[in-house]
Amino acid sequence: MERRSTDLRPADVATPADDTVEGVGELATLARILPRLPHGDDTLVGPGDDAAVVAAPDARFVVTTDLMVHGPDFRRAWSTSHDLGWKAAASNLSDVAAMGARPTALVVALAVPGDTPVTELEAFADGLREGCAVMAPGAGVVGGDLSVSPTFTVAVTAFGDLEGRQPVRRDGARPGDVVAVSGALGRSARGLDLLFRLGVDHEGTPDAPAATALRDRDADVGWHLAPTPPVADGRSAALAGATAMLDLSDGLALDAGRVARASGVVVELSAAALGDDPRLALSGGEDHSLFATFPPDVALPGGFRAVGTVRDTAGGAPRVTVDGSEIDGAGGWDPYRLWSGAQG
């Protein structure tokens, strides 16, 4: 059940100067975070004991884990704590969805500098809760851990219920299948490019006020910082008979290549189906959209749209083509490759 953050946040309460994780202590910090986290419909035993217990109605559960580390994965000058909570939910829920499962629960481990204000962790919890409410209503946080670290680090593990279906893996695409995508392509990359060019001060250092102003002007900036992937479409794709599926975290070119290799097929993409900027659609990661293949007679479910066709390799190597030309998916998506700790 969704609880709006405004229901829980005391309005205009003055925050004492030592209201940091170190000043407040682990137990009292947890006591402030826990009420803000979503309670899930499948939670049998929630936080507070040595471990939680979650329902797994069909006697199996889907599990995925993902780290977000300050530097390689985000910059504090650009991402609010609310963004980080939302994005941690998004990136993990989309992996559960990409197996064709219904997300049921998450556990969240946070390691943060001791001088982090507890209000930042409350905002993180709010983002996580609100993200779950929008992307996977009914999924709850069943446990977690909190530690002090010089490096702000988020480790989320998410769970899902296959509802008796087989998981949709990467290796099931068959010649003749329709290639389809649900969700944005390249939008997160465009937002990040804007941040790198304009979300900085005159010396090129990431700058919070500049990023905030930029975000107000262009919605792709907010999309990069807190995307809303089509999580429910994962289950819909499985119900419709998707033969292969994955989460587009590293860019369409690279991720389509994974399906091509796992399935031993050619993934033929049509540039005209990839929007105004096919290059960006192919290379940009972190949209967490869903890539799936469907038998040719299937009506595409939810937000899926056709972007190509699966073909036999005809004795050649598995590969990805765009309008018939083979593309190189190597290199991958590493948006913060050049990050140094001095840069926000």
Site residues for a second copy per CB under 8 A? 44-45, 49-67, 69-73, 95-96, 98-99, 101, 105, 107-111, 142-151, 153, 155, 157-160, 162, 167, 169-170, 245-247, 341
CB of 80 to a second copy, least distance (A): 21
CB of 66 to a second copy, least distance (A): 5
Angstrom distance (rounded) from CA 75 to CA 161:
33
CB of 187 to a second copy, least distance (A): 20
Q: Ramachandran region of residue 286, left (φ > 0), alpha (ψ -120 to 50) or beta?
A: left
Measured in degrees and rounded to the nearest 5, phi and psi for residue 2 equal: -75, 135
Angstrom distance (rounded) from CA 271 to CA 16:
56
Alpha carbon 177 to chain centroid distance? 26
CB neighbourhood size of 278 (10 A):
20
CB neighbourhood size of 17 (10 A):
8
Largest Cα separation within the chain, whole Å, is 70
Q: Which is nearer to a second copy, 194 or 293 (CB)?
A: 293
CB of 332 to a second copy, least distance (A): 8
CB of 4 to a second copy, least distance (A): 27
Q: Which is nearer to a second copy, 159 or 304 (CB)?
A: 159
Q: Which is nearer to a second copy, 158 or 214 (CB)?
A: 158
Write the DSSP string, 30-51: HHHHGGGSPPPTTEEE-BTBSS
Q: Which is nearer to a second copy, 156 or 269 (CB)?
A: 156
Q: Which is nearer to a second copy, 18 or 58 (CB)?
A: 58
Instruction: Give the single-character DSSP code of 305.
Output: E
